[in-house]
């Protein structure tokens, strides 16, 4: 296990794979998942690469798999996940898979074509059946109308819009003998337009009766269920017939031959019924066959998918390789962690053995000036903390990683704001449940985003809950109530307060100056419960929490500055130590370090007897900047000898730090740069014997670098960037302003620890008093019932508002304190993540699709 | 509709269409596409663009027509989504865009039935954006009056049709006249509608539609040389919302050959350039291509301004151009006609 403190040491390696062994080696590396490959031919199009045909074959296989999957899904057959993830297949298995899929697809297609024709026949017959059953009523109605009854006219008017005056009813429906008809079936939603168009184009000379088919019919081509209607159109003459048929064709209506007489129709219907039954048996047999085929492959589907994915991934990686001139070797470059190299070499050996090749693959370490990727080994516990840091910015290579410190400071600062043991316990239990049932919950992959967020952060929630219990005990706050475990240090002294006074006075004042009301020793752990019922509870707690916030906040900032020293030491950057770390440290300690000392001094040295003239730290800090110490009021006066001169000295020191921080670094950098340049000129003169200037050289390398793209085969001075004093100065100027103002504003920003804790405590107190206490005040059975009823709103509101909402807000504030206040002191975050080639990740992605 | 509350109703769709726009195939992609040797290569490369896996369910070997259909399908899906999400007046505006396709479909179907094709083989060739319910019944009509009375009266195109109703039988020349009359009425109506929308939409769309109108006027004039179309009839086909109206129109009516048209265009700076740069030599671009280029330029301008409907129109047009480009390249690849492969019109 590597340390979290700095990212892994990375090695840029060159990989020589023998052509036959390449596939097996890469698939071994994919199973291992510790190597990040570099694209050696970024200029090549995807279709110009070496293994494009293999990739294409994989895509073809995937297409067939998708097709089969769709068919399986249509029959609603479950596709179980494989018990274990299959190993990446050998190249020859690929051919096997291909033929299997090919065969299956062909079989499936045949089955489908057969089924479609059968279904089409079935549909035709069913539609005809419906026509025949409905036709009788249509004809009856029509004949009834033709009989010339007046009722039929009104009935007809309901079906069709009123005819134009030229077309009189008698002409439309002449003698029965001349009337012809067509019968058919059309989609139900098309009926209105169909009817209108018929009416318009035939000028009202046709008569349409339609009836809806109640049962939905299956469209044989799409397999969807559609609603249709039966219609019969009555008309006269050949011309109209042609027209009607054309319209029917236009509306994709299916026309059927319908016998004229009722007897014939009945006979036909009976015949059709038997045919439908025959067809039904055939159809169910063919569907059964289809079902059997699908069931037999459903179990393998997921495994096949994974296999194809793996093959494709391997070829994608191989596409990133270069081929040497003899076509025998594939050459690639990769990043891997230094300490994983032996494992990688073992994997390569296994790969070579698997492929039966005699020539071993070679992993060759090489020097490069490129920045290596950042790779922090995490486990399920540290992962969430690392991801909190990474979402701000990925650490530079080997930069100090704030994640290990975050594991402690994050839940701690959170708990300062969320300090309530009751709420902490609830939070802790919830997270504990998630942690305990981890493996079980992990298997049920949920799509619920909110749940996934909570589940992903279960360890941080666990810690936050635990720390909140502690902070709550410190604040002596449990659901806004206090526990008196050890016995309060305060009591009304019987000599000063008689029983009667205690019973009849609402407010008593416990005097801290004489020791009569005080037992002489403080409450041993946390806040004294007596504060819970005191009137000046908030005033006291505010002062306490504010000071606590400043102390913890400034300490964290100090810690951040010290971490920047660690960075400078590691990168051997003495300029940064003397021109940045030192003035920064001095500046911070002269102002805020001193403030902490004063806070501690005030807590220890000032007691109740001196309370009238206790020094005000806020005023004192202001006085320190104004260099003015008025005697009135007495709280602003000097409180130790030589205070004024000492504080002026500190102020002066802090002020000196500003120009130090501002100017020193750019000047030194400029010096160093010009020295290097002179050296370079001399070198060129001596070794090359020709006078080429730095600029010239730089220009050359730059063009050649552009040509090489990302390949960096250059070493030494060519990497040196153009140095501009102006730029360095502006940069430093911004940095200085940011730091100095930042110290002040960040200190103020840490006061949110107090503010949120106050808000949380007050809110939970309000909830208790306004909701639950109402019930507690009642007595007897009413009280019983009231408690029963009011507990629910109190509990729900506690969870919804105090736990979830307040918890979220405290979480975000903590996040901010870490990202801005803490990390700005040392963290650059300009790296990029190590992204190894891993099969498990590729399969995970495909499972999400 | 102003900048202040535009986003209430149309902000989502504007954002959406701008997102779609950034997926339009870039010049670099075209350069890659041109290097393809087979259609499968083309498919592989299109996967890396916004088209994604749109061809992945098609079995090899691919056909150009399948690519064309799929590209069109994608546009239709996007357009339908926007149409269903939109409210008045944007929905009306989007409907207006489809009317152009409806006209094309009608003309295609009439021509097809005239040549004895069955309706079922014609329907797949219609542009899905311009499909309407009664479309398939078009073949029943043998005269224009019938066509109007029976089929078109229910469609939004009915008012445009008033001008060309006659008892005449339908024939070749007739169809072209119908198409152009319909188009003229459509453009003028669309122009009027855009004017009622006001603000940027009106400004931008009037410029675009003016260009469209002028392009039609010039094309009609050039195509009418050597046909039976009389000069008076010609004048009735020019859409009257372009920059050429009215002086340019009267000049175009008098034109007898290509040179005359060119002389008319001399007076309009933007069209003059198009004529100057075009030619019929194999190395030169045709006038049609120059028009397309100018159109692309105009359409790209739409995205420079916010809070207007023009971008929806522009997006559809640009997508159409992209469709033409990819199909062109695909055709060249399929027919191994590498020399003409760069004849597409780059967009971004």
Q: Measured between alpha carbons, how far is B126 from B76 in angstroms, rounded to an integer?
A: 13
| Buried b or exposed e, range B320-330, using 16+ CB within 10 angstroms | bbbbebbbbbb
Q: Smallest Cβ distance to B56: which of A48, A63, A249?
A: A63
Q: Measured between alpha carbons, how far is B224 from B217 in angstroms, rounded to an integer?
A: 11
Cβ–Cβ of B44/A60 closer than 8 Å?
no
Place of tokens 């940064």: A576
Nearest CA in chain A to B55: A63
Cβ–Cβ of A197/B60 closer than 8 Å?
no
B333 with B36: CB under 8 angstroms? yes
Residue B168 sits at the chain A interface (C-beta within 8 Å): no
What residues in A contact B28, CB-CB < 8 Å? none
Identify which of A38, A832, A13 has the alpha carbon closest to the alpha carbon of residue A347: A13
A336 with A34: CB under 8 angstroms? yes
Burial class (CB in 10 A: 0-12, 13-18, 19+), B181: buried
Structure tokens at A695: 């600029």
Residue A252 sits at the chain B interface (C-beta within 8 Å): yes
Q: Smallest Cβ distance to A201: which of B36, B56, B140?
A: B140
Residue B52 sits at the chain A interface (C-beta within 8 Å): no
Identify which of A828, A829, A831, A824 has the alpha carbon closest to the alpha carbon of residue A560: A824
Spatial CB neighbours of A842, under 8 Å, sequence gap ≥ 6 = A30, A309, A310, A313
Q: What is the DSSP letter of A336?
A: E
pLDDT at A107 over 70: yes
What residues in B contact A200, CB-CB < 8 Å? 149-150, 153
Range picked from A71-85, A748-762, B279-293 for highest mean pLDDT: A748-762
What residues in A contact B153, CB-CB < 8 Å? 200
Residue B134 sits at the chain A interface (C-beta within 8 Å): yes
Q: Measured between alpha carbons, how far is B50 from B20 in angstroms, rounded to an integer?
A: 9
Name the residue with higher pLDDT: A233 or A694. A233
B 86-125 residues with CB < 8 A to A? 119
pLDDT at A468 over 90: yes
pLDDT at A74 over 90: no
Residue A286 C-alpha, separation from nearest chain B C-alpha, in angstroms:
25
What residues in A contact B36, CB-CB < 8 Å? 47
Residue A729 C-alpha, separation from nearest chain B C-alpha, in angstroms:
38
Q: Name the average pLDDT for chain A.
A: 83
Name the residue with higher pLDDT: B299 or A22. B299
Q: How far, in whole angstroms, is CA B4 from its chain's centroid?
A: 32
- Three-class SS of A555-601: HHHHHHHHHHHHHHHHCCCHHHHHHHHHHHHHHHHHHHHHHHHHHHH
Spatial CB neighbours of B76, under 8 Å, sequence gap ≥ 6 = B128, B129
Which pLDDT belongs to residue A385? Answer: 92
Cβ–Cβ of B140/A243 closer than 8 Å?
yes
Residue A53 sits at the chain B interface (C-beta within 8 Å): no
What residues in B contact A250, CB-CB < 8 Å? 119, 134, 136-140
Which pLDDT belongs to residue A736? Answer: 94
- DSSP for A387-417 reads HHHHTT-PPPTTPBPSHHHHHHHHHHHHHHH
Which pLDDT belongs to residue A143? Answer: 65
Which pLDDT belongs to residue A470? Answer: 95
A183 with A135: CB under 8 angstroms? yes
pLDDT at A174 over 60: no
Q: How many CB pairs under 8 A join A and B?
A: 66
Q: Measured between alpha carbons, how far is B325 from B51 in angstroms, rounded to an integer?
A: 14
Q: Measured between alpha carbons, how far is A124 from A117 in angstroms, rounded to an integer?
A: 10
**What is the ipTM for the molecules in this complex?**
0.75
Q: What is the mean pLDDT of residues A23-49?
A: 83
pLDDT at A166 over 50: no
Residue A382 C-alpha, separation from nearest chain B C-alpha, in angstroms:
36
Cβ–Cβ of A59/B56 closer than 8 Å?
yes
What residues in A contact B119, CB-CB < 8 Å? 249-250
A 168-207 residues with CB < 8 A to B? 190, 193, 196-197, 200-201
Residue A98 sits at the chain B interface (C-beta within 8 Å): no
Nearest CA in chain B to A196: B150
pLDDT at A229 over 60: yes
Structure tokens at A845: 């992605």
Q: Count of CB atoms within 10 A of residue A312's CB?
A: 21
Nearest CA in chain B to A105: B59
Residue A48 sits at the chain B interface (C-beta within 8 Å): yes
Which pLDDT belongs to residue A829? Answer: 85
What residues in A contact B48, CB-CB < 8 Å? 46
Q: Count of CB atoms within 10 A of residue A546's CB?
A: 19
Burial class (CB in 10 A: 0-12, 13-18, 19+), A261: exposed
Q: What is the pLDDT of residues A471-519, one digit of tens each?
A: 999 999 999 899 888 888 888 877 777 778 777 777 778 877 766 788 8
Cβ–Cβ of A59/B134 closer than 8 Å?
no
Q: What is the mean pLDDT of residues A285-312?
A: 85
Q: What is the pLDDT of residues A602-624, one digit of tens each?
A: 999 888 888 888 888 888 888 88
Which range (A69-83, A113-127, A763-777) has the least confidence? Answer: A69-83
Nearest CA in chain B to A245: B140
Q: What is the mean pLDDT of residues A81-90?
A: 76
pLDDT at A697 over 60: no
* Long-range CB contact pairs, A806-809, < 8 A, 24+: A806/A418, A806/A759, A806/A760, A806/A763, A807/A418, A807/A423, A807/A427, A807/A464, A809/A756
Which pLDDT belongs to residue A585? Answer: 94
Residue A377 sits at the chain B interface (C-beta within 8 Å): no
Q: Measured between alpha carbons, how far is A86 from A843 in angstroms, rounded to an integer?
A: 11
Residue B140 sits at the chain A interface (C-beta within 8 Å): yes
Spatial CB neighbours of A449, under 8 Å, sequence gap ≥ 6 = none
Which pLDDT belongs to residue B145? Answer: 77
Residue A123 C-alpha, separation from nearest chain B C-alpha, in angstroms:
20
Q: Measured between alpha carbons, how far is B27 from A132 in angstroms, rounded to an integer?
A: 62
A586 with A654: CB under 8 angstroms? yes
Segment (H or E) for A181? strand A179-187
Cβ–Cβ of A45/B134 closer than 8 Å?
no
pLDDT at B335 over 90: no
pLDDT at A687 over 60: no
What residues in A contact B134, CB-CB < 8 Å? 193, 197, 250
Residue A38 C-alpha, separation from nearest chain B C-alpha, in angstroms:
19
Residue B47 C-alpha, separation from nearest chain A C-alpha, in angstroms:
10
- Percent with pLDDT over 70 in chain A: 90
Nearest CA in chain B to A241: B140
Cβ–Cβ of A67/B57 closer than 8 Å?
yes
Q: What is the mean pLDDT of residues A111-137?
A: 84
What residues in A contact B148, CB-CB < 8 Å? none
Q: What is the pLDDT of residues A243-274, one digit of tens each?
A: 888 888 777 888 887 777 778 888 888 888 88
A 64-93 residues with CB < 8 A to B? 66-67
| Buried b or exposed e, range A486-512, using 16+ CB within 10 angstroms | eebbbebeeeebeeeeeeeeeeeeeee
* Long-range CB contact pairs, B339-347, < 8 A, 24+: B341/B34, B342/B34, B343/B289, B344/B30, B345/B289, B345/B292, B345/B293, B345/B296, B345/B321, B346/B27, B346/B30, B346/B296, B347/B24, B347/B25, B347/B26, B347/B27, B347/B296, B347/B300, B347/B318, B347/B321, B347/B322
Cβ–Cβ of B119/A243 closer than 8 Å?
no
Which pLDDT belongs to residue A650? Answer: 94
Q: Smallest Cβ distance to B140: which of A45, A196, A246?
A: A246
Cβ–Cβ of B146/A46 closer than 8 Å?
no
Q: Smallest Cβ distance to A47: which of B41, B60, B138?
A: B41
Residue B252 C-alpha, separation from nearest chain A C-alpha, in angstroms:
40
Residue B233 C-alpha, separation from nearest chain A C-alpha, in angstroms:
30
Q: Measured between alpha carbons, how far is A838 from A316 in angstroms, rounded to an integer?
A: 12
Structure tokens at A159: 């079906």
Cβ–Cβ of A201/B59 closer than 8 Å?
no
Cβ–Cβ of B57/A193 closer than 8 Å?
no
Which pLDDT belongs to residue B223? Answer: 86
Q: What is the DSSP letter of A222?
A: T
Residue B59 sits at the chain A interface (C-beta within 8 Å): yes
Q: What is the pLDDT of residues A536-548, one digit of tens each?
A: 889 989 999 999 9
Structure tokens at A592: 């805020």
Q: What is the pLDDT of residues A130-149, one digit of tens each?
A: 888 887 777 777 666 555 44
Confidence grade of residue A235 (pLDDT, cut at 50, 70, 90) = confident
B308 with B3: CB under 8 angstroms? no
Spatial CB neighbours of A226, under 8 Å, sequence gap ≥ 6 = A187, A188, A216, A217, A218, A219
Q: Helices in A40-90 by DSSP H: which ranges? A: 52-74
Residue B138 sits at the chain A interface (C-beta within 8 Å): yes
Segment (H or E) for A359? none
Cβ–Cβ of B139/A45 closer than 8 Å?
no
pLDDT at A833 over 80: yes
């Amino acid at each position: 296990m590597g340390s979290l403190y700095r990212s892994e040491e990375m090695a840029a390696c060159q990989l020589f794979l023998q052509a036959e062994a390449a596939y097996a080696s890469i698939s071994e590396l994919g199973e291992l998942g510790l190597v990040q490959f570099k694209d050696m031919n970024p200029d090549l199009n995807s279709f110009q690469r070496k293994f494009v045909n293999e990739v294409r074959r994989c895509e073809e296989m995937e297409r067939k798999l998708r097709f089969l999957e769709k068919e399986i899904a249509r029959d609603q057959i479950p596709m179980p996940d494989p018990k274990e993830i299959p190993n990446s297949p050998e190249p020859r298995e690929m051919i096997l898979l291909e033929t299997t899929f090919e065969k299956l697809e062909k079989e499936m297609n045949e089955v489908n074509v057969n089924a479609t024709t059968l279904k089409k026949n079935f549909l035709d017959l069913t539609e005809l059946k419906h026509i025949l059953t409905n036709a009788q009523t249509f004809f009856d109605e029509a004949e009834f109308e033709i009989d010339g009854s007046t009722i039929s006219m009104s009935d007809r008017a309901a079906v069709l819009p009123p005819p134009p005056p030229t077309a009189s009813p008698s002409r439309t429906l002449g003698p029965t003998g001349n009337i012809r008809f067509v019968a058919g079936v059309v989609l139900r939603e098309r009926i209105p337009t169909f009817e209108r168009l018929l009416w318009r184009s035939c000028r009202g000379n046709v008569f349409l009766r339609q009836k809806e088919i109640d049962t939905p019919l299956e469209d044989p081509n799409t397999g969807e269920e559609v609603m249709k209607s039966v219609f019969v159109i009555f008309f006269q003459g050949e011309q109209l017939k042609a027209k009607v048929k054309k319209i029917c064709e236009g509306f994709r209506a299916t026309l059927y031959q319908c016998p004229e007489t009722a007897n014939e129709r009945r006979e036909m219907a009976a015949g059709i019924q038997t045919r439908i039954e025959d067809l039904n048996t055939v159809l169910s047999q063919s569907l059964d066959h289809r079902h059997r085929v699908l069931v037999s492959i459903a179990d393998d589907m997921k495994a096949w998918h994974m296999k194809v994915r793996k093959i494709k991934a391997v070829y994608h990686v191989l596409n990133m390789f270069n081929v040497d001139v003899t076509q025998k070797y594939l050459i690639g470059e990769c990043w891997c962690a230094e300490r994983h190299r032996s494992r990688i070499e073992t994997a390569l050996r296994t790969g070579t053995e698997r492929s039966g090749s005699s020539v071993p693959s070679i992993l060759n370490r090489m020097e490069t000036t490129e920045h290596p990727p950042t790779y922090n080994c995490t486990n399920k516990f540290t992962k969430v903390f690392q991801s909190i840091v990474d979402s701000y910015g990925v650490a530079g290579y080997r930069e100090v990683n704030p994640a290990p410190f975050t594991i402690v400071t994050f839940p701690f600062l959170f708990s300062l704001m969320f300090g309530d043991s009751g709420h902490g316990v609830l939070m802790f239990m919830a997270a504990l449940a998630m942690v305990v049932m981890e493996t079980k919950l992990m298997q049920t992959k949920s799509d619920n985003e909110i749940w996934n967020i909570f589940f992903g952060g279960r360890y941080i929630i666990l810690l936050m809950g635990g720390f909140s219990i502690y902070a709550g005990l410190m604040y002596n706050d449990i659901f806004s109530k206090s526990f008196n475990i050890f016995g309060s240090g305060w009591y009304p002294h019987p000599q000063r307060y008689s029983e009667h006074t205690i019973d009849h006075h609402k407010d008593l004042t416990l005097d801290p100056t004489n020791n009569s009301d005080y037992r002489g020793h403080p409450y041993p752990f946390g806040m004294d419960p007596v504060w819970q019922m005191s009137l000046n509870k908030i005033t006291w707690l505010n002062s306490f929490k504010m000071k606590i916030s400043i102390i913890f906040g400034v300490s964290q900032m100090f810690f951040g500055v010290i971490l920047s020293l660690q960075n400078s030491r590691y990168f051997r950057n003495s300029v940064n130590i003397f021109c940045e770390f030192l003035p920064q440290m001095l500046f911070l300690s002269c102002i805020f370090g001193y403030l902490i000392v004063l806070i501690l001094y005030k807590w220890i040295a000032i007691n109740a007897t001196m309370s009238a003239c206790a020094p005000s730290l806020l005023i004192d800090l202001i006085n320190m900047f104004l260099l003015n110490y008025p005697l009135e009021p007495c709280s602003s006066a000097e409180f130790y000898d030589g205070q004024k001169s000492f504080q002026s000295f500190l102020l002066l020191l802090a002020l000196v730090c500003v120009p130090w921080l501002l100017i020193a670094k750019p000047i030194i950098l400029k010096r160093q740069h010009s020295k290097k340049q002179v050296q370079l000129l001399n070198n060129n003169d001596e070794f090359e014997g020709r006078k080429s200037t730095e600029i010239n050289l730089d220009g050359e390398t730059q063009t050649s670098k552009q040509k090489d793209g990302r390949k960096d085969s250059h070493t030494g001075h060519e990497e040196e960037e153009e140095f501009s004093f102006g730029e360095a100065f502006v940069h430093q100027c911004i940095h200085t302003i940011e730091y100095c103002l930042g110290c002040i504003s960040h200190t103020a920003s840490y006061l949110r620890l107090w503010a949120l804790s106050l808000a949380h405590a007050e809110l939970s107190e309000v909830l208790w008093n306004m909701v639950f206490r109402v019930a507690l005040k009642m007595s007897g059975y009413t009280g019983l019932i009231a408690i029963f009823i009011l507990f629910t709103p109190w509990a729900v509101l506690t969870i919804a508002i105090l736990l979830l909402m307040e918890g979220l807000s405290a979480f975000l504030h903590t996040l901010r304190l870490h990202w801005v206040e803490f990390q700005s002191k040392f963290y650059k975050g300009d790296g990029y993540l190590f992204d190894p080639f891993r099969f498990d990740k590729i399969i995970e992605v495909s499972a999400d699709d | 509709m102003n900048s202040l509350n535009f986003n209430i109703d149309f902000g989502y769709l504007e954002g959406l269409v701008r997102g779609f726009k950034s997926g339009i195939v870039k010049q670099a992609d075209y350069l890659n596409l041109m290097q393809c040797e087979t259609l499968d290569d083309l498919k592989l490369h299109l996967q890396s663009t916004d088209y994604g896996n749109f061809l992945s369910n098609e079995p090899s070997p691919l056909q150009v027509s399948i690519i064309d259909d799929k590209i069109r399908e994608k546009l239709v899906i996007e357009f339908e989504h926007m149409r269903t999400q939109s409210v008045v007046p944007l929905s009306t505006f989007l409907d207006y865009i489809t009317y152009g396709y409806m006209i094309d479909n009608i003309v295609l179907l009439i021509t097809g039935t005239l040549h004895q094709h069955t309706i079922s083989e014609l329907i797949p060739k219609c542009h899905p954006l311009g499909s309407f319910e009664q479309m398939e019944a078009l073949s029943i009509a043998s005269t224009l009056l019938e066509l109007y009375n029976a089929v078109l009266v229910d469609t939004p195109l009915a008012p445009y049709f008033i001008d060309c109703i006659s008892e005449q039988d339908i024939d070749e020349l007739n169809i072209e006249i119908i198409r152009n009359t319909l188009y003229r009425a459509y453009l003028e109506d669309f122009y009027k509608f855009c004017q009622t929308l006001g603000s940027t939409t009106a400004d931008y769309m009037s410029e675009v539609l003016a260009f469209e109108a002028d392009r039609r006027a010039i094309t009609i004039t050039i195509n009418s040389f050597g046909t039976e179309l009389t000069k008076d009839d010609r004048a009735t086909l020019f859409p009257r919302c372009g920059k050429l109206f009215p002086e340019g129109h009267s000049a175009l009516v008098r034109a007898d050959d290509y040179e005359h048209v060119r002389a008319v265009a001399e007076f309009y700076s933007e069209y003059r350039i198009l004529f100057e740069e075009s030619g019929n030599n194999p190395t030169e671009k045709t006038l049609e291509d120059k028009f397309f280029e100018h159109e692309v330029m105009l359409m790209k301008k739409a995205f420079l301004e916010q809070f207007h409907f023009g971008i929806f129109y522009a997006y559809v047009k640009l997508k159409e151009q992209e469709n033409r480009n990819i199909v062109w390249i695909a055709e060249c690849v399929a027919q191994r006609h590498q020399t003409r492969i760069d004849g597409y019109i780059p967009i971004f």
